[in-house]
Structure 1
Amino acid sequence: MAARSSAPDKGPGFFSQIRTLYTFTQKEFRWLPFLLVGILLLGIAVGVGIGFLIPPVAVWSVILWGVTGLMLGVLASMMTMTRLSTRAMYKKIDGMPGATGHVMSTSLGRKWQASEMPVGINPKTQEAVYRAVGRGGVVIVGEGARGRLTRLVNDERSKVQRVASGVPVTVLYIGHGEGETPISKLAPTIKSLPTKIDRATMAAVIKRIESVSQSLTSLPIPKGIDPTKVRAPRPR
């Protein structure tokens, strides 16, 4: 009997990730190939132009600057594709139940703590409320029809204010209507909130809120989004 290998499974290689990223983004932006080729050609042109402008002009110098321009073009292409892949991801998940939790759990950075699971949910309509705690205070985000979210949002706000008196509470609603926040702008909006509490107070608030929060383990994540499949792949 052949011995089983104890070596861990290797993840996708760098070029495999690049290919996956490109395929994901190109499905949303059909003109992506032309844009990337244009950036590469522009980089080469700029490099060659610098080679001719800097004396003494020599073939090896022009070639060297051309290669340098190509490398800069590759870097610019990667940065452009990464940015477009993020836009493609937001377009794909916009309006999907659970998208808010996905964004809040992956895009807020270390200064904020949030969970992919909602802190309040209506199982019949899939309206859900999410919460983030950070240096800017407490943020409550409603996902779904705004009119049906009133009770869930008010319940969560009352609970937070009861255990964290004096800590600012910001309420956001996901959507494209007046006074609502598009899913693509959710993370920037939260991270732009001014600092209101220090790290010690933030830790204390998190502990207090968690101590009074009801267990939601029996409540499933709203169906309609699989974050592992929707997240735009990024090259390492």
Structure 2
Amino acid sequence: MAARASQPARNPGFFSQLRTLYTFTQQSYSWLPWMLIGSVLLGAAAGVGVGFLIPPVAVWSVILWGVTGLLAGILVGLTLTTRLSSRAMYRRIDGVPGATGHVISTSLGRAWQASEYPVGVNPKTQEAVYRAIGRGGVVIIGEGARGRLTRLVNDERQKIQRVASGVPLTVLYVGHGDDEISIAKLAPTIKKLPRKIDRATMAAVIKRVDSVSQNLTSLPIPKGVDPTKVRAPRPR
């Protein structure tokens, strides 16, 4: 008998994602259950209050407004949980080698192209350089000790200037020192860069840079971040 074809893995359902989101966030914020209970109770109470304030006051009106407030409280709780989960993720990966690659490959959106793989890395010290290309130009991000990143950053800068002369080039360093950016603010900082090139120029820059870049997958990823374990789950 022919072997039965393996069933494709199912995506987790909505409630399964909610449970994972809750568990992930509560590990960093133990007071999360009380916040959720409070938001639901306050929402329901606010709805009942509105029901008594808006004439004509009737039982069905109070119940309807109460249910509306309850649903609003649930929505507020879910929104706050999602935001807290993002903060929890950044707290966990802050200072971990490879965190920069995880953030720029998942948080910049379609307006930027970036990879979780570094474009330059020192396998002995785990210093690494990453690159993102978008409407704001080319961004080089250094991760690790600032002093030991000089050569890696300069090599990448010279390569970009050689093949994409005139394109805005920004250099950022991830950390908590002077002129450094925390991992939580990395993606927002890149997204705020003013748009200086159009989509056609962006595509041309990506093609030129890729033509002179080594195979990114041949470089070792700094040990420390497993994106499948630190990504904050979000309900669909």
TM-score range normalised by the length of the shorter chain: over 0.9
Residue of structure 1 in register with 2:80 after alignment: 80
Counterpart of 2:178 in structure 1 is: 178
Deviation at 1:6, TM superposition (A): 5.6
2:143 alignment counterpart:
143
1 CA distance for matches of 2:75 and 2:212?
Answer: 49
For 1:76 and 1:94, how far apart are their aligned partners in 2?
27
Q: Which residue in the other structure is 1:203 paired with?
A: 203
Q: Distance in 2 between matches of 1:5 and 1:214?
A: 39
User: Could you say if the C-alpha distance between residues 4 and 208 of structure 1 is closer, same or farther in structure 2, counting changes exceeding 3 Å?
Assistant: same
Q: Deviations over 1:136-175 (max 9, x none)?
A: 0000000000000000001100100110010110000000
Amino acid at match of 1:110: R
Alignment-derived partner of residue 4 in structure 1: 4
Does residue 22 of structure 2 align to residue 18 of structure 1?
Answer: no
Provide the residue aligned with 1:45 in structure 2: 45
1:7, CA displacement in angstroms?
A: 4.5
Residue in 1 that maps onto 2:96: 96
Structure 2 gaps, min length 5: none
Give the corresponding residue for 1:212.
Answer: 212
In the TM superposition, structure 1's runs of 4+ consecutive aligned residues that sit over 6 Å from their partners are: none
Task: Tell me the SS of whatever aligns to 1:44.
Answer: helix
Structure 1 segments unaligned to the other structure (5+ residues): none
Distance 1:36 1:112 in 2: 35
Q: Which residue of 1 aligns with 2:191?
A: 191
How far 1:4 moved relative to its partner?
2.6
Scaled by the length of structure 1, the TM-score of the pair is: 0.97
| 1:72-92 superposed Cα distances (whole Å, 9 cap, x missing partner) | 111111110000000000000
Kindly tell me the number of residue pairs found equivalent between the two proteins: 236
Maintained 8 Å contact 2:85/2:232: yes
Distance 1:47 1:35 in 2: 18
Superposition deviation, residue 218 in structure 1: 2.6
Aligned-pair identity (%):
78
* Distance across 2 between alignment mates of 1:218 and 1:148: 21
Cα distance in 1 for partners of 2:62, 2:234 equals 34
Letter in 1 for 2:232: A
**What secondary structure, in the 3-state scheme, does the structure 1 residue paired with 2:216 have?**
coil
2:233 is matched with 233
Root mean square deviation of aligned Cα: 1.3
